[in-house]
Amino acid sequence: MVEHPEASEDYVIDQGWADYRAEDHAIWRTLFERQSRLLPGRACREYVAGLQGLGVAAEGIPDFERLSDIVERATGWRIVAVPGLVPDDVFFRHLAARRFPATNWIRRPEQMDYLQEPDVFHDIFGHVPVLMHPVFADYMQAYGRGGLKALHLGALPYLARLYWYTVEFGLIRTGEGLRIYGSGIVSSRAESIYCLESEKPKRIAFDLMRVMRTQYRIDDLQESYFVIDSFDQLFAATRPDFTPYYQELKRRPDIAPGVVLTSDRLVSAGVAHGGDRPRQRGARGRTDEALDRIAAD
Ligand code: HBI
Ligand code: FE
């Protein structure tokens, strides 16, 4: 029985927006424009709509207070600044209260293509747009509540896999083919391409128990992706009490990433993806143009 640690402090710090230097904003701009060119035809509509609704600027690292006012109006979520990864119980308690803990520092130039720990670009550009979607916003809060229960039951590793294969690396089926909604993918150039276009990874229809049995690697492109049909399907999966699921999971072996079971329903990547679309150079700002390119999908 995992004794629930004393309610530790919430790790919230001041974002320090005024302290960002020009090179920090320049790194944000490079990452934002690079992903905005890549995501048309790859990111799902819900993500694109959220990014547009946020008015996340290409120009530089956004102010969490301003973003929070926009997200709160849409789905009641706010963004709090934290110094990086926080203990699981602290993380879950924030999610359960509709607070998304976002790292306040940005990666260094030599980390443009990969960094282990989430930075402000991963957290804001990756996670916050989908928090503008009411059903996904409900799913994230349900996840937080479930996390606190899982901690008490010593079942956290199972639930962490659900987070990994949905919130971070999830794919969704649409009429135009598979699209990305996972934050770990939309904030990564290589993975945004690989997850939909490489022959290597397995793309498996979402099944809750299958996901919670599947291990994952944090230091490389994913070998398996799980595909949902809708956010409603994902939210519905979290409705039941997971206690019996955890009991069953403890009786069954884990599954290594990349393995395919005979019971798996494999999903093909679907239609090819549009790249950059020709655009007439309007007078509008870079942000609008970048967002329009994504929205043109
Ligand atoms: N802390 N700031 C932050 N961001 C995360 O995404 C995060 C975390 N702590 C724990 C964690 N994620 C994962 O272990 C979740 O699966 C719980
Ligand atoms: Fe993340």
Mutate to test the pocket of ligand 1, among 8, 64, 88 (most ligand atoms within 8 A of CB): 88
Residue type (1 letter), 215: Q
State the sign of the Cα–Cα–Cα–Cα dihedral 117, 259, 231, 252: negative
Question: CB count, 10 Å around CB of 295?
Answer: 16
Q: Is the pTM of this model over 0.85?
A: yes
pLDDT in tens, 88-111: 999 999 999 999 999 999 999 999
Pairing mode of beta strands 177-180, 171-174: antiparallel
Give me the amino acid identity at 275: G
Ligand 1, atom 5: nearest CA belongs to which residue?
A: 85
Ligand 2 centroid from CA 79, angstroms: 13
Nearest to 181 by CA among 168, 199, 193, 194: 168
For the segment(s) 17-296, the CATH number from 1.10.10.10, 1.10.800.10, 2.30.42.10, 2.60.40.650 is: 1.10.800.10
- How many whole angstroms separate alpha carbon 159 and alpha carbon 246? 9
Nearest 5°: CA angle at 203, between 227 and 212? 65
Domain boundaries, the chain: 17-296
Q: What is the CB < 6 Å shell around ligand 1?
A: 82, 85-86, 88, 91, 101, 118, 147, 160, 163
For 167-223, write each residue's pLDDT tens digit.
999 999 999 999 999 999 999 999 999 999 999 999 999 999 999 999 999 989 999
Q: Are 85 and 117 spatial neighbours (Cβ–Cβ below 8 Å)?
A: yes
User: Hey, whose CA ends up nearest to atom 7 of ligand 1?
Assistant: 85
Neighbours of ion ligand 2 (CB under 5 A): 118, 183
Supply φ then ψ for residue 151, to 5 degrees.
Answer: -60, -45
User: How many Å apart are CA 160 and CA 289, to the nearest integer?
Assistant: 36
Determine the pLDDT at residue 295. 57
DSSP 45-70: HHHHHHHHHHT--SSSPPPHHHHHHH
Residue of the nearest CA to atom 14 in ligand 1? 88
For residue 189, report the phi and psi dihedrals to the nearest 5 degrees: -65, -50
Q: What is the pLDDT of residues 33-80, one digit of tens each?
A: 999 889 989 999 999 999 999 987 778 999 999 999 999 999 999 999
Of 86, 123, 238, best ligand 1 pocket probe by most atoms within 8 Å of the beta carbon: 86
